[in-house]
Each structure stands twice: as structure tokens, then as C-alpha cells.
């Protein structure tokens, strides 16, 4: 099993370089905390909150995944240069149709620094 890196509260870290490293690799989930059963529901995943990530041929975000507990809901795959070879925050919009309450997590994979996991987001699904 590969090592999975997790976001830590960067406000508690003193060194700017460490804040940059953690933030620019961590996926963040942005969505409502309630959804209607059977209706399209938008989940935005953004890699990096305050800092951007490189998009070089040997150092880039290769994919972003969205999970509901242990069930893979979707994946977006990127090739080097797909973000214009510029430092930026990778963003993916996932549209899902929920049928039950969800515990969402996102994963992002950096070709140089490995796999990163978001904090979970609970979504209540109503009728």
C-alpha cells in the first residue's frame, strides 16, 4: 500500500516552505452538506487552497479522484502541460446522483510527491 499523505492545519506550521508543500498537494472538497436523492449534485475538488502546484513534464498532478467511503465515484486524469505548464490549482467538477448519505473524500496524485487525501465531508441526502 502506498503512503497516503494528509493535510495538516498549516496555520500551526512555522516554515513557509512546509506550508507551501502541504497545501499545494492537498485536495479540498467544496460542496453543499445536503443533497436531494436522485438529483444531480455538484462536488468541486481543488488541489491547493492557498498555493499553486507546478505543471511540468516530470512534476504535475496526474489525477484527482472522488470517493464515497470505499467506493470510487469518479476520476479526472491529467497529462503534463494540460494546465499550460504554469503553476496553478487543479480543479475538477464532479456531478453525481446520490441515493444515500455520503462520506466524501478526494485523492490527488503528484508524480513527484505521491498520493494525498482530503479531509472527509459528510453529505446528508434527503428525499
Position with higher pLDDT, 64 vs 9: 64
List, for residues 94-114, the tens digit of each pLDDT value: 999 999 999 999 999 999 999
> Rounded to an integer, what distance in angstroms lies between the CA atom of residue 88 and that of residue 101?
32
**Residues counted in the chain:** 127
pLDDT band with cut points at 50, 70 and 90 for residue 118 = very high
Bridge partner residues of 34 (DSSP): 124
Other Cβ atoms less than 10 A from the Cβ of 105: the count is: 19
- pTM of this structure: 0.85
Residues 7-48 pLDDT 10s: 777 666 666 666 778 889 999 999 999 999 999 999 999 999
Rg of the chain over Cα atoms, rounded to whole angstroms, equals 15
Amino acid at each position: 500500500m502506498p503512503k497516503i499523505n494528509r493535510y495538516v492545519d498549516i496555520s500551526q506550521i512555522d516554515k513557509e516552505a512546509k506550508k507551501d508543500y502541504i497545501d499545494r498537494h492537498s485536495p479540498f472538497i467544496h460542496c453543499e452538506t445536503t443533497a436531494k436523492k436522485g438529483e444531480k449534485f455538484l462536488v468541486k475538488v481543488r488541489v491547493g487552497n492557498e498555493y499553486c502546484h507546478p505543471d511540468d513534464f516530470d512534476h504535475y498532478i496526474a489525477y484527482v479522484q472522488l470517493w464515497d467511503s470505499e467506493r470510487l465515484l469518479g476520476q479526472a486524469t491529467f497529462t503534463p502541460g494540460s494546465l499550460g505548464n504554469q503553476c496553478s490549482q487543479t480543479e475538477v467538477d464532479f456531478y453525481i446522483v446520490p441515493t444515500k448519505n455520503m462520506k466524501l473524500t478526494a485523492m490527488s496524485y503528484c508524480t513527484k510527491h505521491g498520493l494525498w487525501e482530503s479531509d472527509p465531508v459528510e453529505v446528508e441526502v434527503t428525499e
